[in-house]
Each structure stands twice: as structure tokens, then as C-alpha cells.
Structure 1
Amino acid sequence: MIFDKLINHLKLDKQEFTFQFNSHPNYPSALAFSDTLNFMGVKNDAYELDKEYWDELPEEFIAIVDNSFSLVKKSGAGYSVYSEKAKTLNKEELHKKSTDFVLLFEKTENAENRAAFDFKPLLYVVFAIILGYSFFTQTLFEALFNVLSLAGVYISMEIFNQKFGNTSTVIGSICGDTSGKQATNSCDKIIKQDKTSILGLKFSDFSLIYFTGLVVLGLFLPATAYIVKGFTFVSVLAVAYSLYIQAFVEKAFCRVCLLIISILAGQLVLSILFFENTVFTIGMLLLTSVLWILIFCTVLYFTNILTQKEALQKSNAKNLRFKRNYELFKSQLLENEKIEFQDTETFSLGNKDAKLRLSIVSNPYCGFCKDGHKIMEGLLEKYPDDISVQIRFNYSPERADEKYTRLLSAFNFMYHNKPQKEFLNAVEQWFETRDEEKIVSLARSSDAQDLTPFIEMTMDNNNAGLNFTPIFILNGHQFPDKYDREDIWFFVDELMEDEDFQ
């Protein structure tokens, strides 16, 4: 399923989104799509809504248009639809091509921060340095040659990235609409179905190697003019081969390929008309050979690494799809004997009448408990009315020092005298700072509290064998060891809807 335009518009990491979507046990359903958006930081709610009520929808929403998840934006009297490509539909066309499924979304602040590191700004800086050096130290025609080389590197890198599933807006804008009857303009047919393979490298990969080498050699013009001119003559063979494949084998012309051919032709003309032959030396030939070998090995290395990564992601997605199956998770959860806690008045949060009850057994001085509490706080924030949470801090007076006693007293005072949000903020502050005095100052009370309920609760934990922290307890069942605590996000909706589990 393709929804490149939608992912780009939401500014999400396409590789991460695709991986999470493909690994969902209900892939490729609407539930899988909705859960993946939630995981990526785009809060959403799905509805089955008759078309007659669509006029009341927000300016932006997600719908299934032409069997693809698509972003729909109201644009005057019509609608802009973004999926694998952008298109404009009027109201009647949109209603006809869509199901009743709509998804309303709201991006959170960290939605865009999940994207991987973007190397393009660094690449642009390198390009700018090369251009500055060329125009200030070389002749105009030598500088223009370097500009063409950089253009070739940039386009070749976009093709290289696209080979591994990354969407290229540059390639898309050059190739235009590659669907339907416009196959003569299709870049996919030439680039993605490239049958050339030399040590795993495609014809487009050699374009990246070639232009990268010319960029380096171009910095030393006119000293390297003889060798540069030789390479531009050799490029004629590549141009002829590419045109032959497009015209007679695939019978479709690729616009981006024709653009690269134009760059090669421009460099050939510049080298013939304006580059003077320099003295050829063996040393220059050896340095050039080493340069090409290094670039070739670098591209080959990254190709192999990215190919392996892609294969591992596909395999991992299949494994996770199995692991994230709710029925499998539920069977593992129910394997653990149910724990019956005493009704102790401690830190109970959320909706106390909720059908899903989460208990977290932890210790304020446990380094691993910080992440467990973050998950708990996230669940409370997202499901304030649908989940009940109990924080079960272990406390034994004979083993606790004065600092821990003061800390727990401050927490107890805030729990009984402050809003829930302030109490949770104090717990969060503690795990960030580990400063007892700061928590006491937040409580604005240093009075000793009755900690008897915590002593009883700790005995309760010990009797149930809950000696290590942190531990999640869901409706009396210990969270399965085969799952990471973060995996609870993939099952919490179904846990709340499962009447048998409740």
C-alpha cells in the first residue's frame, strides 16, 4: 500500500512508519494504520461516517480514497487528496471514490522528532564550499563543469535513496505522473527495474560513483584536465547504453535519465571546447585509480549495508506482526497466576472505576523504574477515563533511610492534598533530578506522614513474589516476561475492549 504524499505531508519518517505499519498484527487494516499514526505521535480517532455529514469535518482528515489511505484537505469548492500522488477532486468525485471511513487526527509536538537524522543540510554545506571554491579560484567554464558534476551527484543520490524505499520529491517532480497511460514518462520502469548488476551495484549506482569522482577531480582543474576529458569521452558509451535500453529494451523514456544524459553531454562539450590538455603523468593516473576504487568501495559498502538493513526490517516486521498479535499476548498474560492485592489506600490514579487496572511495583531509587513510570504517565494522559493506575512503592522502615522516609512522606502529602497532575509532576521531577529536597519543597510540607499503608503494601508485594522492580500488573496478571513494557501500547485498546479479560 502506497501513501507517500500522506506521510510526507505529516512530516513522518517513512521508513519508521512503513516498518511499524507492516509489523502490526492487523496489517493492512484501518486499525493498523490508526495505531501506527498513534505510535508516531499523531493522535487520531476513526469513525464510520455517512457522506452527508462530511461537510462538518475539519479542514484536514484522512479517508480511504481509491482503496488507499489518503489525506484530504478542503480547498475551496473542491478537495486536495494526497496518497501515492496528489490530485484534486470535487465533492461528488470524492464521495464516489471513498468509503465511509474517516480518521480525524491531531499532531503532537514530538510527531516530527521521530524522523532519522537528515544528512541533507550537511550535504548542502559541502556543495556550497565546493561551489565557492570553484567560482573564486577557477575559470568560469571549470566552475560550470563542477556545477554539472554536483547536479549529477545530487540526482544520483536521490535515485540511490529511492532504491531503498525513500521518497524523492525531486525525482517525483522531474518524472511527473508515472501512472496509467503515461508509461512513456515512467522513471520506475527504468530505474527500479534496472537489470544491471556488477557486485550488486546497479547502473544508477555507477552514476553516483562517476559524478562523485568528477567532483573531486574537478577541484584540481586544470591540472586534471587530461584525465577529466578522458572520462567525459568514456561517458559517451554509458549514454549510448542508456538510450539503447530506454528506446529498444524497455521502450519507455525516463526523464531523470535524460536529465543525467544532458549533464553528461554538457560536460563533454565543456571539456572539448574549453579544457586544454595537460601533461599526463603516471602519478596522476595512480591517484585517480585510488580515488575511483575508494568511491566504488564506499558506494558498494553502503549498498550492502542498506540492503541488509532492508532485509532485516522486512524479517523483523513479520516477526513483530506475530509478537503483537493480541490473542498471543493475552494467552501469555493469563499464564501468570492472578494476584489478589489487599485494598490498600495508596497512590491510585486515573479512573478508579475503570475496567483496565494497571499496577506498577517500583522503587524511587531504581534506575530502571524511570522508563516504567513514563509509560504509566503516558497511558494516564492518553486514557484518563479508561484506565486505573496504582503506584506501589516498596517501603520497609527497617531498611529505609531518613531521606527515603522524607521523600515518601512528601509524595504522600502531595497525593492527598494536591491535584493529580501536580503529584505526577513531582514523581516525574524525582526521576529526573533524584533531589529529595526539591520534592519536599514542591510538597511545601516536611511533616512526617503515616506510612503504614506502604508497609502493608510492601508485604503484599513480597507475598506475591514481586521482589524486583519495575513490574507491571494488568488486572492482577503480571506483564509477560517475553514482552517489553513498551509493547503495552500495542494492546491497551484491545485490553480495554476485551470483556473476558475484564
Structure 2
Amino acid sequence: MIFDKLINYLKLDKQEFIFQFNSHPNYPSALAFSDTLNFMGVKNDAYELDKEYWNELPEEFIAIVENSFSLVKKSGTNYSVYSEKAKTLNKEELYNKSTNFVLLFEKTENAESKMVFNFKPVLYAIFAVILIYSLLNQTIQEAIFNLLSLAGVYISLELFNQKFGNTSTVIGSICGAPTVTQTVNACDKIIKQDKTSILGLKFSDFSLIYFTGLAVLGLFLPATAYIVKGFTFVSILAIGYSLYVQAFVEKTFCKVCLLIISILVGQLVISSFFFENYSFAVGILLLTVILWALIFSAVIYFNTLLEQKEEIQKSNAKNLRFKRNYELFKSQLLTKDKIDFQDTQTFSVGKKDTKVRISIVSNPYCGFCKDAHKIVENLLEKYPDDISLQMRFNYIPERANEKYNQLISDFTHIYNNKPEKEFLHAIEKWFETKDESQINTLVGGVPTSENVSPLVAMSMENSNAGLNFTPVFIINGYQYPERYDREDIVFFVDELIEDEDF
């Protein structure tokens, strides 16, 4: 399923999105798509909406158009549809080609791409330096030759990245979309089905090696003219092989391949007619061999590294799809005996009659409890009508120091005397600062002396149930399975809420 335009519009990390979408237990359903958007920070609500109500929809929404998740934008009386490619449909065409599924979304800051480092600015800077150097220090023919080498490097890099699931708008614009009679376009047929494999490298990978080597050698023209000429003449073999495969084997022509061939022919003509024949130098030959060996090794290294990463992601996606299966999670959740807490009111927030009641057994001074509290508090915020939360601190006065006793008293005072939001704010502030004085300022900056016996009784219940280590999640009395990460709870909340038998 292809929805590149939609992912680009929402500014999502494509690889991360596809990984999460593929690993969803309901892949490739609309639920999986909606949950993945939520996970990536794009809040959304999904509906099955008859077409008669589509006029009331906002200017932008997501629908399933021609069996593909697509961004739909109203444009006057027509609609712009973005999925694999952009197209314009009138209302009747849109309605006929769409299901009743509609997803309304809200972009947030978290939806921005999470790329650690973008190499393209560095690459463009290197290209600019090479071009400026060529124009200032070399002849116009040599500068054009270097420009063609850089064009070859750029296109080859786009092809290299595309092997590992990255979308290339440049390659896409050159190749175009498949025709009505094609399942894939000509470029994909030639490039992706390339059977060449030398040390794991495809024919397109050798294009990257070749042009990178020429880009470096071109900087030392005319001293390297003899070597450069030799390589351009050898490229005739590659040109002939590529044309043979396209014309007689695959019987279709790849526009990107023809563009690369045009670059090779251009360099061949320039080197043949404009480069002077300098005398052969053993030193230059040796440096050339070392250069090509380094480039070849680097491409093999990154190719292997990215292949391993892709295999790991595929394997993880399969494992996560299994692990995130709700029925499997539920069976693991119900493995242990149910815990019946007598005190369910102390430090309890949210509606009291919700279907899903989550308890978190924690300790204010526990290093791991901060993230655990953040998870359940976010769930409470997202599902205020369906989830309630109880914070069950392990607290034994005899073992606590003065600061801990005062902190618990202050928490109790805030819980008993102030709105629920202020209590949640106090808990959040504590885990952010771990500063008892800042919590005390929330109660007026004076020592409190609250009755903490309910907290002591609650701690005894925790101890009797064997809940001594923190943090622990308890869902409707069942201890959260140890084999699941705490963060995984977000994948099961919707089904827990809808499960009438739980």
C-alpha cells in the first residue's frame, strides 16, 4: 500500500511510519492506519460516514480512495487527492472511488520528522565547493565534466536510498506513475528487478561507485585525464549492457537509466575530444586504485549496514504484530490471580465508574516511576470518560524519613482539598523536580499534618499482594504482564475499553 504523498504532507518519518503500520496486529486495516497516526503524533478520529454527509467535512481529511489511504483536500468544486501521486477528482468521481471510511486529523508538533541528521545540506555544500573550484581553476570542458559527474552521483544516491524504502521525489518525477496496463512503472521493473549481484551490489550501486570516483578524479584534471579517459571508454560496456537489458530482456525503457546513459555519453564525448593525452604516471594510477578501493568498500559497508537494518525492521515488525495482538495480551494479563483492593478511593482520579481502572504501584523516590506515571496520566487525559487511575504509593512511616513523611502529607492535603487537576499537577511537578519544597509551596508553604492512615493501609495491601517492587501497573485488578513493556499499554487501551468480557 503506497501513500507517499500523504506521509510527506503530514511530515512523518516514512520508515518509522511504515514500520509501526506493518507491526500493528490489525495491519493493513483502517484501525491500524489510525492507530499508527496517533502513535506518530497525529491525533485523529475515524468514522464510517455515508456520502450524503461528506459535504459537512472539513477542507482536509483522509479517505480510502481506490483502495489506498489518501489525503483529500477540497479545491473549489473539485477535490485534490494525494496518495501515491497527486490527482484531481470531481465530487462524483471521488464518491464512486471511495469507501465510507473517513479520518479527521489534527497535525501536532510531534508529527514532525524525527530524522537524527540530514545529510543533504552537507552533500549540496560539497557539490557547490566542487563546482566553484572547477569553474575557477579548470577549463569549461573540465567543469562541465565534473558537473555531469555530480549529477550522476546525485541520481545514483537517490537510487541507492530508494532500495531501502526511502521515497525519492526526483526519481518519481522522472519515472512517472505506472500506466493503466502496468503494475509497476518501467523504472521499478528495470532497477528493482536487477539480477546483478557482485558482493551484494546491484548494477545501480556500481553507478554510484563510478560517478563518485570520477567526481574525485575530475578535481585533478588535466593530470588525471589519461585515467579518466580510460574509465569513460570502459563505460561503453555498461551502456551497451543496460540498453540490451532494456530493449531485449525487459522490453521496456527506464527513463532514469536513459538519463544516466546520457551522462555517460556526454562524459565520453568531452573526454574524447577535449582532454589532452598526458603521459601515463604510475603514481596517479596507484592513487586511483586506492581511491576506487575506498569508495567500493564504503558502498559495500553502507549497503550491508542498511540491508541488516531492513532485515531487523522486518523481523521486528513481524514480532511486534504478534506481540501486539490483543487476544494474546489479554491471555497474558489474565494469567495471574486477580487482586482485590479494598481501598480504591485514595489518590484516585478520573471518573469512578469507568470500564477500565488502572492502578499504578509506585514510590515517589523510584527512578523508573516518572515515566510510568507519565504513561498512565497521558492515558487518563486521552480517555477521560473510559479510564480511571489510582496512584498506590508504597509508604511505611516507620521506614520513611522526615522529608518523605512531609511529602506524603502534602500530597494528601492537595488531594483532599484541591481540584483533581491540581493534584495531578503536583504529582507531575514532583517527578520533574524531586524537590519537596516546591510541593510544599503548593499547599501554602507551611507544614501540613494530614491523616495518612489510608496511605499506610494501601501500602499494606500492596505488600500483601506481593507488589513491593515499583512501578507496577494493575488493570482491573490484574497485574500488567512482565513480558510487555509498559509503553505497550497504549496499543491495547481501545480494545480493553470495548471488551465487554473484561
Rounded to whole Å, the distance in 1 between the matches of 2:142 and 2:451 is 83
Deviates more, 1:190-199 or 1:427-436: 427-436
Q: Is the 8 A contact 1:63 1:103 kept in 2?
A: yes
Asked whether 1:451 is paired with 2:458, we answer no
Q: 1:330 to 1:276 in 2, by over 3 A?
A: same
Deviates more, 1:333-342 or 1:139-148: 139-148
Q: How far off its partner does 1:42 sit?
A: 1.1
Q: How far off its partner does 1:79 sit?
A: 0.8
Q: Is the 8 A contact 2:344 2:390 kept in 1?
A: no
- Which residue of the partner structure matches residue 346 of structure 1? 346
Helix, strand or coil at the partner of 2:220: coil
Q: How far off its partner does 1:419 sit?
A: 3.7
Amino acid aligned to 2:465: A
Asked whether 1:460 is paired with 2:461, we answer yes
Q: 1:279 to 1:450 in 2, by over 3 A?
A: farther
- Which residue of the partner structure matches residue 48 of structure 2? 48
Q: 1:183 to 1:22 in 2, by over 3 A?
A: closer
- Which residue of the partner structure matches residue 486 of structure 1? 487
Give unpaired runs (5+ residues) of structure 2: none
Q: Is the 8 A contact 1:410 1:445 kept in 2?
A: no
Rounded to whole Å, the distance in 2 between the matches of 1:172 and 1:270 is 29
- Which residue of the partner structure matches residue 252 of structure 2? 252
Q: How far off its partner does 1:184 sit?
A: 11
Q: 1:256 to 1:421 in 2, by over 3 A?
A: farther
Q: 1:419 to 1:140 in 2, by over 3 A?
A: farther
Rounded to whole Å, the distance in 2 between the matches of 1:472 and 1:206 is 54
Normalising by structure 2, we get a TM-score of: 0.95
Q: How far off its partner does 1:57 sit?
A: 0.5
Task: Report Cα offsets for 1:309-331 as digits up to 9, x if no partner.
Answer: 22222222112111111111101
- Which residue of the partner structure matches residue 86 of structure 1? 86
> Percent identity, aligned pairs only?
76
Matched residues, number: 501
- Which residue of the partner structure matches residue 364 of structure 2? 364
Task: Report Cα offsets for 1:405-459 as digits up to 9, x if no partner.
Answer: 2323333333334443343333223223322222323443332233222111111
Q: Is the 8 A contact 2:392 2:458 kept in 1?
A: yes
Q: How far off its partner does 1:143 sit?
A: 2.5
Helix, strand or coil at the partner of 1:466: coil
Rounded to whole Å, the distance in 2 between the matches of 1:376 and 1:500 is 22
Helix, strand or coil at the partner of 1:412: helix
- Which residue of the partner structure matches residue 28 of structure 2? 28
- Which residue of the partner structure matches residue 495 of structure 1? 496
Rounded to whole Å, the distance in 2 between the matches of 1:263 and 1:375 is 55
Q: How far off its partner does 1:113 sit?
A: 4.2
Rounded to whole Å, the distance in 2 between the matches of 1:2 and 1:113 is 18
Q: Is the 8 A contact 1:345 1:453 kept in 2?
A: no
Amino acid aligned to 2:42: V
Pairwise mapping of residues 63-74 of structure 1 onto structure 2 (< 5 A)?
Answer: 63-74=63-74
Helix, strand or coil at the partner of 1:102: strand
Normalising by structure 1, we get a TM-score of: 0.95
Task: Report Cα offsets for 1:362-393 as digits up to 9, x if no partner.
Answer: 11111111211121121122112211011111
Alignment root-mean-square deviation, CA: 1.8
Q: 1:270 to 1:428 in 2, by over 3 A?
A: farther
Q: Is the 8 A contact 1:141 1:270 kept in 2?
A: yes
Q: How far off its partner does 1:119 sit?
A: 2.4
Q: 1:482 to 1:37 in 2, by over 3 A?
A: same
Q: How far off its partner does 1:18 sit?
A: 1.3
Q: How far off its partner does 1:189 sit?
A: 1.0
Helix, strand or coil at the partner of 2:165: coil
Q: How far off its partner does 1:475 sit?
A: 0.4
- Which residue of the partner structure matches residue 128 of structure 1? 128
Q: How far off its partner does 1:185 sit?
A: 6.4
Q: How far off its partner does 1:293 sit?
A: 1.1
Give unpaired runs (5+ residues) of structure 1: none
Pairwise mapping of residues 144-155 of structure 1 onto structure 2 (< 5 A)?
Answer: 144-155=144-155
Rounded to whole Å, the distance in 1 between the matches of 2:159 and 2:270 is 25
Q: How far off its partner does 1:126 sit?
A: 2.5
- Which residue of the partner structure matches residue 313 of structure 2? 313
- Which residue of the partner structure matches residue 477 of structure 1? 478
Amino acid aligned to 1:446: V
Q: Is the 8 A contact 1:178 1:187 kept in 2?
A: no
Q: How far off its partner does 1:24 sit?
A: 1.2
